[in-house]
Chains A and B, each alone.
Chain A
Amino acid sequence: MAPLDELKIGGMGASRRRVEDNRFIRGKGRYVDDIVLPGMLHMEVLRSPVAHARIKSIDTSAAWEIPGVRLVLTGETMAARNLAWMPTLSYDTQAVLATDKVRFQGQEVAAVVADDPYIAKDACSKIVVEYEQLPPIVNPVQAQAPDAPLIRDDKENQPTNKIFDWEIGDKAATDRAFAEADVISKTELHYPRSHPSPLEPCGSIADYDRATGKLTVYMTTQAPHIIRAAVAMVAELPEHMIRIVSPDLGGGFGNKVPIYPGYVVSILASILTERPVKWIEDKSGNLISTGFGRDVYLQGEIAMRKDGKILGMRMHTISDHGAFYADAQPTKFKIGLMHSAFACYDIPAAHLTSEGWYTNKAPGGVAYRCSFRVTEAMFFQERMIHNAANDLGMDQAEFRRVNLVKDDMFPYRTAFGFLTDSGQYKKCLDIGLEAIGYQNFKAEQEEARKRGKLLGIGISTMTEPLGAGNSREYDIIGIKMFDSAELRVHMTGKAILRTGAKTQGQGHETTWAQIVAHELGIPADDIVVEEGDTDTAPFGMGTYASRSTPVAGAAVAMVSRKIRAKARKIAAHLLEVSEEDIEWELGRFYVRGNPERGVTIQDCALAAYSNVPDGMEPGLENNAYYDPPNLTWPFAAYICKVEVDPATGVWDVLKFVAVDDCGVRINPMVVEGQIMGGLTEAYAMANMQYITFDEEGNCIGANYMDYLLPTAWETPGFELHEVVTPCPHHPIGAKGIGECATVGGPAAFVNAVINAIEHTGVRNVDMPLMPNRVYEALKTGSDISGMPPVRVD
């Protein structure tokens, strides 16, 4: 009997076409706003037009008078039910509907529930709110001024606007390294505020059934089980009476991890009206009030020997968290995994200090397509490395080669205590350099400069920690960060798999089935995958921080192995030999020494329901909770070549090479899709995609006219290369890929543009590298730093 061809059954390594596409290409996806329930009402939220003000009065009487209006809610209504405030994922509190003050432009002030959203919007415009304006704070410098107004006067023991001080690393050892250094390189940067901005905004349909006491909420969430726990806490409802359903999601990128006021208000509205209440945020609401990413300032230093060896590193970060500390991140780490910076470099001593501040801006600090501040960490790292190489007068590639962790140094303990376990860093870098034509570049650059053309090349090499967590160190609001899978094999050998993750474009319905196919030999087409319904899916922490494949994907492999173990016993029974005499090949057990005598996994499935050995429980299903022993550490080398137009500051990508080592690839097509998508967000952040504020605290970037996402026209093409170093502790050797390109990509673009103009003495232009900023830097030969409040003449 010929063994099964794993690629043909859609197993590991197959670029299997996606099963979810069958509905999406027909317009049959089902997103929250597509769901209509009988008797459903519609909710709209009224938001604050100002950044910081005391609410003197709210008059809703005119809104109530509009025909079709069913309910008008304000902070007062919420407070009467103890729902005016809710906990955040970082142990702070956040206003649901404002009672005392508004603390950022766009904050939720009131909500109207009506027969249709047009009427709800009409009624919102009839609500009269009287504000007494207070001075707004739009950055951490203003926040720490001695006479700064106190944003969080609602909190006890909060005398200033500071949220936290935090540090990690060995200060004394780092100080010694700097004392011994030949050269010290300093870098100051700002990673501007950005917004994940999935095309689908956030929304929910709350459906409270008074008869059964059950609350069902259809919700745009990447983490339905966390939300269920949070709703249980906030609404004081029993957990088994809450069902969160996350249907198809129109992208997430971290934006759909937190719990938002709109969700909570829709739940109360449903309880009060006893009808389903749908709330669909508009784009502006999404951009100005929901979880943003970044907004961190860095002061960084690298201590080096003349020969290029890095001796030590210091970072100080100042982060702007907006009006509520609502970062989605593991409890233990106040500024996420910022201390993963420099993990790919062999550095003996490092010290990180961080401070976080309240401002009159939207709350957030979500992991925007990254593993908790890892995007900032790697951007800071690669900009510091770029400057350090220049300060030494050393070639960028050579400087990295000297300092990258070598293949024979694994497992490697970083100065901040992370354990990286595998990789071929130099190989990845060399493949990238070869592909971009690095060897000839300097001559090319010189020659181009003579013709008035400015070429630049930028390298970004990094390893990032994915797959939070292990549960010893990683939890969110106390819930440990493991994940789960449940596999039920039917008697015909078809199967249903459910996990605690939640796909939002990553293709779990396709790729999870491939893992099962790999482990059991059941064709992927015979396996249906379900996620997102807390009544049926096993408990899991959801999908963000590139943790699906490292954690839930591992659980899928582990549960498949449990199924295989039981099937082996059944096979022994069917073949009438002892279990020890059974061998496994893909999809089939056979008798050792007699390969012709065997049974398929499908035979075992049938027997599990019709012919089990004495004493064995019938059925073939199981579950697995996977608590990873460590993070996974994919590596990437991104190299970008640009041309800058000196007359306008406009820059074009001439070539971009990405070399990713994400371990074993389950579905290469899907992996490449993730990389290209991530690189595009990296390009966007480097070039145009940012949110800033004017001096009044007005959000610049409140809609897609001002918050710029690149189109197919601007977005460059990407050339992808692959290196595979399997993860030693992951059951299928995978490391995760969803976010590597977003994390490592921005520095490649920025380093390239800086390289093109640094002959003028420019050392840094902070993102976004908009043409005007690049031009100013070129013209003046000086740095363009930070994003000061916009001032309009």
Chain B
Amino acid sequence: MYPSRFAYDAPSSLEEAIAILDAGGGEAKILAGGQSLIPMLKLRFAAPERLVDINSLPGLDYHRVDPDGTLRIGALCRHEDLEFSDKLDAFPTLAQAAALVADPIVRTRGTFVGSVCHADPQGDWAATMIALDGSIVAQGPNGRREIPMSDFVLGPFVNALAYNEIAVEAVIPAAKGTARGGYLKLERRVGDFATASVAVALDMDGDTVRRAGCALAGVGGRTIDANDAISVLVGKTLTDENIAAAAQAVAAAAEPRTDHRGSADYKRHIVETFVSRILTNISRSEQKAA
């Protein structure tokens, strides 16, 4: 309950924040929502020398949809901003995940971008970002660069940011066609780590799938990129057979381990079930719309 000592800065500009990180030589850690970092400090699982609190940085609390449909989420956009957002109609995967992140009180404070950077194998947002083919905009002393999600999460709790870079924005491209998707999570109670989570994002052209994205949380040592697996749907319609094949392919991509939340087989089965449920729901709503 009592963190060890650290130095603390609350810079008021991005440039200042980056300069502090740069001077820290890798011993400084960014504090955004803090809903994962501060518990780790309290348990003394983490003991950084310096915290750089970015909560005072101006103009980062946005999420907005560009005219071309691209969704941009600033570094200080909180989970609950997305939960109560009216801008996510074209991003059903995100809209469904937003209410399932941690618990309602944590959601007022924790940030989307911070959660993606945390790269927790059980994190919800990293999974949605992979399924949606998103990327992270990082800013460092040498300017900005955009890192695709496929290159961003390097392993459990490890991301691709340099020590002197700050993730300032998440970018999620617009669907080509109609956006469909879903997010399902098996948790034993609100706030539990996921036994298994599934993010699915489809770009539909009529009843044909143009792009399919999928990622999994809680079923591997890292967020599982199942985009290749679910791509069996591309160019196809959501028939029961195609749904079953996709669900099986995604389940095969999972890398679950047996623990007190269930056996590896059970978790794989949940992945298959959830993929199937999300796709079936999409298929049914398509039929209703038609």
| Chain A residues in the interface with B (C-beta under 8 A) | 44, 117-118, 121-122, 125, 282, 647-650, 687-688, 692, 700, 705-706, 708-711, 713-714, 770-772, 775-776, 790-793
Cβ contacts under 8 Å, A714 to chain B? 189-190
Given A790-B260, A792-B258, A793-B257, A772:B189 Cβ within 8 A: no
Q: A118–B186 Cα gap in the complex (Å)?
A: 37
- The 9 residue pairs across chains A and B that have the minimum distance between CB atoms: A772-B262, A121-B2, A118-B2, A772-B266, A711-B190, A793-B258, A647-B273, A688-B188, A713-B190
Supplied contacts A117-B1, A714-B189, A791-B258, 19 more A-B pairs, CB within 8 Å: A118-B2, A121-B2, A122-B2, A125-B44, A282-B1, A647-B273, A648-B186, A648-B270, A650-B186, A688-B189, A705-B192, A710-B189, A711-B103, A711-B190, A713-B189, A771-B188, A772-B261, A775-B269, A793-B264
Does B263 lie at the interface of the complex (its beta carbon under 8 Å from any beta carbon of A)?
yes
Report whether A122 and B4 are in contact in the complex, using a CB–CB cutoff of 8 Å: yes
The interface residues of chain B lying within 8 Å CB-to-CB of A282 are 1
- Chain B residue nearest in CB terms to A714: B189
Report how far A749 CA is from B125 CA in the complex, Å. 35
CA distance A265 to B269 in the complex (A): 50
Residue of A nearest to B184 (CB): A648
Min Cβ gap A786→B in Å is 14
CB distance from A694 to the nearest CB of B (A): 9
Q: Name B's interface SS.
A: loop
How many whole Å from A650's CB to the nearest CB in chain B?
7
Take A650-B186, A688-B189, A790-B259 as given contacts and tell me if A772 and B195 are in contact as well, using a CB distance cutoff of 8 Å. Answer: yes
* Cβ-defined partner of B263 (8 Å) among A118, A125, A706, A772: A772
Residue of B nearest to A201 (CB): B1
B269 with A708: CB separation less than 8 A: no
Q: Are B260 and A709 in contact (CB under 8 A)?
A: no
B191 touches A (CB below 8 Å): yes
Chain A residues within an 8 Å CB radius of B112: none
Whether B189 lies near A771 (C-beta < 8 A) is no
- Residues on A with beta carbons closer than 8 Å to the beta carbon of B152: none
**Interchain CB contact under 8 A, A776 and B263:** yes
- Interface Cβ pair total, 8 Å cutoff: 67
Contact indicator B273/A708 (Cβ below 8 Å): no
Closest to A125 in B: B44
Chain B residues lying within 8 Å of A650, measured Cβ to Cβ, are: 186
On whether the beta carbons of A771 and B264 are closer than 8 Å, the reply is: no
Give the docked Cα–Cα distance between A705 and B43 (Å). Answer: 13
CB-nearest residue of chain A to B263: A772
Chain A: minimal CB distance from B105 (Å): 11
Q: Of A648, A687, A771, A792, which one neighbours B259 at CB under 8 angstroms?
A: A792
- Min CB distance B196 to A, Å, is 10
Q: Which residue of B lies closest to A709 (CB)?
A: B189
User: Chain B's nearest CB lies how many Å from the CB of A775?
Assistant: 6
Enumerate 14 A-B pairs (CB-CB under 8 Å) in ascending A order. A118-B3, A121-B1, A121-B2, A647-B273, A648-B273, A688-B189, A700-B260, A708-B189, A709-B189, A710-B189, A711-B191, A713-B189, A713-B190, A771-B186
A792 CB contact (under 8 Å) in B188, B192, B257:
B257
A770 lies within 8 A of B188 (CB): yes
Is B183 in the interface zone, CB < 8 Å from A?
Answer: no
Partner of A771, one of B4, B44, B103, B195: B195
Structural contact, A771 and B260, CB atoms closer than 8 A: no
In angstroms, Cα B3 to Cα A121, docked, is 9
Residue in chain B with minimal CB distance to A283: B1
Asked if A711 and B189 make an inter-chain contact with CB atoms under 8 angstroms apart, the answer reads yes
Chain A residues with Cβ under 8 A from B263's Cβ?
Answer: 772, 776
Which single residue of chain A is at the shortest CB-CB distance from B256?
A793
CA gap between A700 and B195 in the complex, in Å: 15
Q: B262's contact among A687, A706, A771, by CB below 8 Å, is which?
A: A771
Interface size on B, residues (CB 8 A): 27
B193 at the interface (CB under 8 A from A): yes
Residues of B17-69 at the interface with A, using a CB-CB cut-off of 8 Å, are 44
Interface string of B250-288 (1 = CB under 8 A from A): 000000011111111010011001000000000000000
Compute how far the CA of A44 lies from the CA of B191 in the bound complex, rounded to whole angstroms.
28
Complex Cα distance, B173 from A588, in Å, reads 82
- Docked Cα-Cα span, A12 to B192, in Å, equals 43
Q: Tell me the minimal C-beta distance from B215 to chain A in angstroms.
A: 20
Closest-by-CB residue of B relative to A284 is: B43
A118 surroundings in chain B (CB, below 8 A): 2-3
Residue pair A776, B273 in contact (C-beta under 8 Å):
no
- A648 vs B262: C-alpha distance in the bound complex, in angstroms? 11
Least Cβ–Cβ distance between B106 and chain A, in angstroms = 12
From B267, which residue of chain A is reached at the shortest CB distance? A772
Contacting pair A770 B189 (CB below 8 A): no
Q: Which of A706, A770, A772 has the most CB of B within 10 A?
A: A772
Residue of B nearest to A694 (CB): B260
A117 touching B2 by the CB < 8 A rule? yes
CB 8 Å contact bits of B173-200 with A (1 = contact, 0 = none): 0000000000000101111110100000
Q: How far is the CA of A772 from the CA of B261 in the complex (A)?
A: 7
**Residues in A neighbouring B266, C-beta threshold 8 A:** 649, 772, 775-776
Among residues of A, the one whose C-beta sits closest to the C-beta of B264 is: A793
Q: Could you tell me the distance between the alpha carbons of A776 and B259 in the complex, rounded to whole angstroms? A: 14
Contacts of A117 in B (CB 8 A): 1-2
Query: CA–CA, A122 to B192, complex, Å?
Result: 30
- Complex Cα gap A688–B262 (Å): 12
Q: Which residues of B contact A649 (CB under 8 A)?
A: 266
Q: How far is the CA of A35 from the CA of B223 in the complex (A)?
A: 46
- Which of B3, B103, B192, B270 is within 8 Å of A708, CB to CB? B192
For B1, give the chain A residue with the smallest CB separation. Answer: A282
- Report A-chain residues with C-beta under 8 Å of the C-beta of B258: 791-793
Docked Cα-Cα span, A713 to B192, in Å, equals 12
Residues of chain B with a CB closer than 8 A to A710's CB: 189
A563 vs B190: C-alpha distance when bound (angstroms): 53
Say how far B39's CB is from chain A's closest CB, in angstroms: 9
Name which residue of chain A comes closest to B262, CB basis. A772
How distant is B122 from chain A, measured CB to nearest CB, in Å? Answer: 10
Q: Which residues of B contact A647 (CB under 8 A)?
A: 273
Output the least CB separation between B102 and chain A (Å). 11
Nearest-neighbour CB distance to chain A for B172, whole angstroms, equals 28
Identity of the chain A residue whose Cβ is nearest the Cβ of B276 in the assembled complex: A647
With the chains together, A2 CA to B42 CA distance in Å?
A: 64
Q: CB < 8 Å: which of B1, B4, B193 contacts A705?
A: B193
Minimum CB distance partner of B274 in chain A: A648
Residue numbers in B under 8 Å from A709 (CB-CB): 189
User: Which residue of chain B lies nearest to A122 when distances are taken between CB atoms in the complex?
Assistant: B4
Rounded to whole angstroms, the CA-CA distance of A688 and B191 in the bound complex is 13
Most buried by A among B195, B262, B273: B262
- Min CB distance B267 to A, Å, is 8
Q: Which residues of B contact A793 (CB under 8 A)?
A: 257-258, 264
Tell me the nearest residue of chain B to A775, going by C-beta. B266
Residues A692 and B260 in contact, CB atoms below 8 Å apart = yes
Instruction: Please provide the chain B residues from 201 to 232 with a CB less than 8 Å away from any CB of chain A in the complex.
Output: none
